Amino acid sequence: MQAIATAVSAVMPLRGALVLRGDAGSRTIETLAVGSVPAGFRAAPRTAVLPTDVWRKFLRWLKAGEPLHLSSTDEHDWLRAALPAGVTGAVLAGPLRTAAGAGGMLVMTAQPGTAFTTSHRGTFGQILEPLAVAVENNGRLHELKSLREAAEADRQTLLSRLGRQDVNEDVVGSRTGLRHVMERVELVAQSDVPVLILGETGTGKEVVSRAIHTRSKRADGPFIRVNCGAIPPELVDSQLFGHEKGSFTGAADQHQGWFERADRGTLFLDEIGELPLPAQVRLLRVLQDHQIERIGGKAPLHVDVRIVAATHRDLSAMVKEKTFREDLWYRINIFPVLIPILRERLEDVPALVRHFAQRAAARFGLPVVEPSDDDLRLLAGYDWPGNIRELGAVIDRAAILGGGRTLDVATALGLGRQPAMMRRMPPLGATLFEVVPEEPAGAAAAPVVASGDVVPLATAMRHHIERALIATRGRIEGRRGAAALLEINPHTLRARMRKLGIDATTFRE
């Protein structure tokens, strides 16, 4: 604007020039840019809320009005009300129309005692169109800046949730317990085939899915995570595929679905087994045709999305029970990746503990504390039904209880002051911080049980699982399966059956 003001002052008695931009959402008008000739121009930049009647007249003028020439203070009072203080005397005002919204206006004010001629108005009119383009570009740049800031905020939130400093950090355990998993990740990352990640809750399925994305050719595109189990059935289509304005009650605006937001990137469908059957049909069509259609839409939209799905459920059993579509199962199960439970990768516990201890220190403003050998022995002896997620929660508690001086792992696990009480862990409903009392000195010893009354633990476990399989006729998954009867995760049950040499098919009729 300064360059324009300097150039225009050679052919017009210009005192100053301003670009004002309007915002329809807030009825505000702000000074976007000011340029003045050497004589100086004292129009203070401002952002002002216009009265409703002034705003309506301003909008009508922006849509269809012509440039205005104000030569006295009593002309076009609505326009005078929109101008900053200091804009007096002869004024030229022209609309800057943009496709994006309300747009703005160019204002030029003459030197005191002078006026604008018809020739000056012609020169003024020639400036409006290129300035309108500049205003629109400026708005887009600010929008991109806001989007970048929002994306960076989301990135930092994600890193904090994952306990990482950078998205491209090595996955903890990638060279030990997760070595085989990461080898499969490297194999499949560069292709666009769907990936199905299998594993118990809390094993790190999202971390592995992000590792696939960051190692792929889509790494610069969006990574969108959708928890299919958290979407109400009546909103699944709207969330996944979007909707048009007015397509149903409450659809006040057009809405982009997750597929559109993930275009040219990766869509992570977490807990895909929770999708209702009608949504599974529509998801299959998208995977086949690479096209979506918003609710209320009239034309299909092409999307370029790589699908990574995850579940803790046995989809093959769900296919047999007709609760998951067989054709969708074949489509997403092209390249499965099975994540081992934490009990099967205990060599990763020390690295994970140090990782979570650093995360806890950063989150709670505490000094970083290294775990002791006793801490690691306690943690390695625990069963970890909640896997890595539970381990992270335990270390968070241990860091808080230790107050930055130590990791109070024993109390965080519910063991109080007696590590030997690992075999007497409180029930799941008990308080995590309950201290197990020490036995008084000289207390009577527990009675000795005859060895013939006790069978090996593996034998007792085998008999118990076999009784459950007999009762459920060999079914493992579902509400009537053995896993539900034993109140454990189906993947955990299968792992124990493999170790004990139990074949579920022998119990099926």
pLDDT in tens, 117-138: 999 999 999 999 899 888 888 8
- Rounded-to-integer distance, Cα 149 and Cα 132, Å: 26
Statement: residue 163 has pLDDT above 60:
no
Of 22, 107, 2, residue with least CA distance to 63: 22
Q: State residue 444's pLDDT score.
A: 43
For the cut 70, the answer to whether the pLDDT of residue 162 exceeds it is no
pLDDT score for 459: 78
Q: What is the pLDDT of residue 185?
A: 94
Is the pLDDT confidence value at 32 over 70?
A: yes
Cβ atoms of 324 and 318 within 8 Å: the answer is yes
The conformational region for residue 279 under phi > 0 = left, psi -120 to 50 = alpha, else beta, is alpha
pLDDT at residue 222 greater than cutoff 60: yes
**pLDDT tens for residues 244-255?**
888 887 777 888
Quickly state the pLDDT bin for 453 (edges 50, 70, 90). low
pLDDT at res. 473: 80
Among 41-45, 179-183, 190-194, 296-300, the minimum mean pLDDT is found in 41-45
User: Cα separation of 478 and 475, whole Å?
Assistant: 8
User: Model pTM greater than 0.75?
Assistant: no
Residue 496's pLDDT band (boundaries 50, 70, 90)? confident
Q: How confident is the model at residue 435 (pLDDT cuts 50, 70, 90)?
A: very low
The two structure tokens encoding residue 115: 């006026």
Alpha-carbon gap, residue 396 to 413, rounded angstroms: 11
Would you call 265 helix, strand, or coil by DSSP? strand
Predicted pLDDT of residue 480: 79
* Minimum mean pLDDT range among 36-40, 115-119, 240-244: 36-40
Q: Is the dihedral of CA 393, 399, 402, 403 positive or negative?
A: negative
Instruction: Give the C-alpha separation, 97 to 414, whole Å.
Output: 67
Residue 431 pLDDT exceeds 50: no
What's residue 297's pLDDT?
84
Most confident of 369-378, 410-419, 494-503: 369-378
Mean pLDDT of the chain: 82
pLDDT band for position 324 (cuts 50, 70, 90): very high
What band does 40 get if pLDDT is binned at 50, 70 and 90?
Answer: low
Look at 324 and 488; give whichever has higher pLDDT. 324
In sequence order, the 6+-apart residues with CB closer than 8 A to the CB of 31 are 18, 19, 20, 43, 45, 46, 47, 84
Q: What is the pLDDT of residue 209?
A: 95
Q: Note the pLDDT of residue 363.
A: 84
Q: Which class is 2-140 in CATH?
A: alpha beta
Residue 187 has pLDDT above 90, yes or no: yes
User: pLDDT tens-digit profile of 376-426?
Assistant: 999 988 889 889 999 999 999 999 999 889 999 988 887 543 333 333 334
- Quick check: 442 pLDDT over 80? no
pLDDT at 62 over 80: yes
For residue 55, the model assigns a pLDDT of: 85
Q: Are 272 and 309 in contact (CB under 8 A)?
A: yes
Segment 478-507 shows an average pLDDT of: 84
CATH topology (fold) of 343-424: Helicase, Ruva Protein; domain 3 (1.10.8)
Of the options 1.10.10.10, 3.40.50.300, 3.40.50.150, 3.40.30.10, the CATH number for the domain spanning 163-244+256-340? 3.40.50.300
Q: Please report which confidence band the pLDDT of residue 474 belongs to, taking 50, 70 and 90 as the band edges.
A: confident
Q: Can you tell me the distance from the alpha carbon of 97 to that of 333, in angstroms, rounded to the nearest whole number?
A: 52
Read off the pLDDT of each residue in 350-359 and give the average, rounded to a whole number. Answer: 92
* Contact residues for 3 (Cβ-Cβ < 8 A; gap 6+): 35
pLDDT tier for residue 78 given thresholds of 50, 70 and 90? confident
Indicate the angle between helix axes 457-471 and 490-500, nearest 10 degrees: 120
Question: What whole-number distance in Å separates Cα of residue 250 and Cα of residue 232?
Answer: 15
E-strand ranges in 228-339 read 265-270, 291-292, 301-302, 305-311, 335-338
Q: Are strands 265-270 and 223-227 parallel, antiparallel or unpaired?
A: parallel
